Copies of this chain bind each other. A is one copy, B any other.
Amino acid sequence: MSRTPRSLMIHDDDLALVTDLYQLTMAAAYFEHDRNRPATFEMFIRTMPKNRGFLLAAGLEQVVHYLSALRFTDSALRYLRELPPFRRVSSAFFDYLREFRFTGEVHAIPEGTIVFPGEPLVRITAPLIEAQIVETYILATINYQTLVATKAARVVHAARGRPVVDFGTRRAHGPQAGVLAARATYIGGCVATSNVFAGYELGLPVVGTMAHSFMMTFPTEREAFAAYVDSFPEHTTLLIDTYDTLEGARLATEFGDRILGVRIDSGDLLALSREVRRILDEAGLNRTRIVASGDLNEYKIDALLREGAPIDLFGVGTELVTSRDEPTLSGVYKVVEHEVDGQPVPVVKLSSDKETYPGRKQVFRQESPSGAFTGDLIALAEEDQPGTPLLEPIMRGGRLVQELPDLPTIQARARDQLQRLPEEYRALSDPPPYPVRYSQRLQALKDQAEALAHQRQNGPATGS
C-alpha cells in the first residue's frame, strides 16, 4: 500500500495554507508593488438571515489561536513556489513569508454578545499582507460559530427554561464542525453536549443516554434495560421507543427510581410524552424525566410546549449544528482604511448591493435605565457617543492583551445579553429589525469616500 489514507486534519503547522489562493497571490502583488503598509479590515455580517432577530457572536478564541500560531513552514513554502502562478514571483517574497508572523492589532466584540448586521465583530489593523491573508480562516471560524450560537439561543428560548443538549456531531459538516458546534451551542445556552472531545478539550458537560443498537443486541428489551441500569445505576436514561414506546415506558417503571429518565426519539412526541408521563406518574415516578429527541428544532419545540407536552429535556442534533433553516451567515471581511503617504485613508466598495462603510468603527449599545437594549449606533472608533462600546482590544503587536473569558463566562454573558434584548426581537418568526443606526460622521465619511471611489476607477476626475 503506497498511499496512506489522509485524515485532512489541520495542524498548527498547516494554518497558513488554510486560505484562498488569491490571498497569497494578492500578497505577492502587494509585496512586489510596495503596498504592504498598514490597513484596517473589518468582519461583519451583511444581512440578517430569515426569522432571526439577533445574532450571537462566537468563535473569537479560535481566531486568536489562529493569528497567534500562523507560520509558513519550509514544506508549505516549497509547495507554494512550485504552483504555476508563483513561479515568476521573486525569492524576496518567499523570504518574507518565511519570517511571516501576525504582528497586528485586533479589536473585537466579545463572544456571547448580541450583534446585528453591519456591526464589525472583528477589526484588524496590520500591514496589508497580514490583514489580507487571514480573511478566509477568520470568516470560516466566526461565520460558523456565530451561526450555531444564534441557532442554539433560539432553540433554548423555545424550550422555556427546560434544558437543551447538543446531540448533533454526527450530522455536523464533518467531525471538526461537531466540536465547534458543541462550543457554540454551549455559548447559545445549551447545558451540555454529547461530544466527548468537546468535554475533554473544553471542559463542557457531556451527556448521553443509549442508542437503539443497544436495545437490539440484547435478547429482550428488559434485559437491555437491566444491563444498562446495572452499569449506570445513577445515570440511566432509558431509550423506550425501539419497539413500542408505551410498552417501553411500562417496562421502564420496573426499574423505579434507579433511572433518571426515559427518552422518546420517534413518533408523535406530544401524544407519546403525555401517555408516557401518565404511565410514569401512575407508577409513582413523578420525578422521572422525559427526554425528547428526533429532528427537533425551535419551531417544533415551541409547538410542543404550547400544547403542554410534558417534556423535561430536549436533545437537539441536526437542526442545531447545521442551522438547517438558514445554514449560512453572510459574513464578510472588508478593507475599510489603508495608508497612503503615511496617512490613513478610508475606503469603500461600490459593487451593487455590496456597499461598505469606510473607516475604523465602533459599535455603541444604548440601553434604557433598566438595562434593556434600545438600539445600536455604529460610529467611527474615535467618536465619543452615548452607550457601551462593544469592540474591545484583543491583540496588540500580534499578542493577546487580555485573557480571554472561559466558556461559562461567555455563556453567562450571552444569557445576560438575551435577557436585556426586548422580547419582540427574540421572536422565532418574523421579528422586527432591531434599530441600528450609523453616526452622522460615518455617513458623511461614506458619502465622501464614495465620491472619491468613483474617481478611482479611471484616475482623477477630468471635469466630465
A288 within 8 A of partner (CB): no
B243 touches A178 (CB 8 A): no
A436 within 8 A of partner (CB): no
**Separation of A60 and B334 alpha carbons in the complex (Å):** 37
A211 within 8 A of partner (CB): yes
Say yes or no: A22-B66 contact (C-beta < 8 A), given A454-B243, A457-B243, A458-B220. Answer: no
A84 touches B197 (CB 8 A): no
**A 305-332 to B, binary, CB cutoff 8 A, 1 in contact else 0:** 0000000000000100011100111010
**Separation of A228 and B207 alpha carbons in the complex (Å):** 54
**Which residues of A384-431 are within 8 A (CB) of B?**
400, 403-404, 406
**Separation of A340 and B26 alpha carbons in the complex (Å):** 64
**Separation of A19 and B199 alpha carbons in the complex (Å):** 11
A283 within 8 A of partner (CB): no
B251 touches A457 (CB 8 A): yes
**A 133-147 to B, binary, CB cutoff 8 A, 1 in contact else 0:** 001110111011101
By the criterion of a CB under 8 Å from any partner CB, how many residues of chain A are at the interface? 145
- Identify which of B139, B175, B329, B334 contacts A141 (C-beta below 8 A): B175
A35 to chain B, nearest CB (A): 6
B347 touches A216 (CB 8 A): yes
The listed residue with most B CB atoms (<10 A of its CB), out of A9, A39, A350, A404, is A9
B194 touches A21 (CB 8 A): yes
A199 to chain B, nearest CB (A): 7
**A 227-267 to B, binary, CB cutoff 8 A, 1 in contact else 0:** 11011111100000111100110010000000000000111
A160 within 8 A of partner (CB): no
B251 touches A85 (CB 8 A): no
A282 within 8 A of partner (CB): no
- Identify which of B2, B212, B457 contacts A244 (C-beta below 8 A): B457
Q: Which residues in B have their C-beta under 8 angstroms from that of A1?
A: 400, 403
Q: Which residues in B have their C-beta under 8 angstroms from that of A89?
A: 231
A409 to chain B, nearest CB (A): 11
Return the 10 tightest CB-CB contacts between A and B, nearest first: A22-B208, A176-B176, A21-B208, A173-B173, A327-B327, A139-B170, A5-B65, A243-B457, A20-B194, A29-B231
Binding site for B on A (CB under 8 A): 1-12, 14, 17-26, 28-30, 32-33, 35, 39, 41, 61-62, 64-66, 68-69, 76, 79-80, 83-85, 88-89, 128, 132, 135-137, 139-141, 143-145, 147, 167, 169-181, 183, 194-197, 199-202, 206-214, 216-222, 227-228, 230-235, 241-244, 247-248, 251, 265-267, 318, 322-324, 327-329, 331, 334-335, 338, 340, 347-354, 400, 403-404, 406, 453-454, 456-459
**Contacts A33-B227, A220-B456, A266-B354 known; 20 new A-B pairs at CB < 8 A:** A1-B400, A7-B62, A7-B65, A7-B66, A8-B176, A14-B200, A19-B195, A22-B194, A35-B227, A83-B199, A84-B234, A135-B211, A144-B174, A173-B177, A213-B335, A216-B347, A220-B459, A221-B457, A244-B350, A318-B328
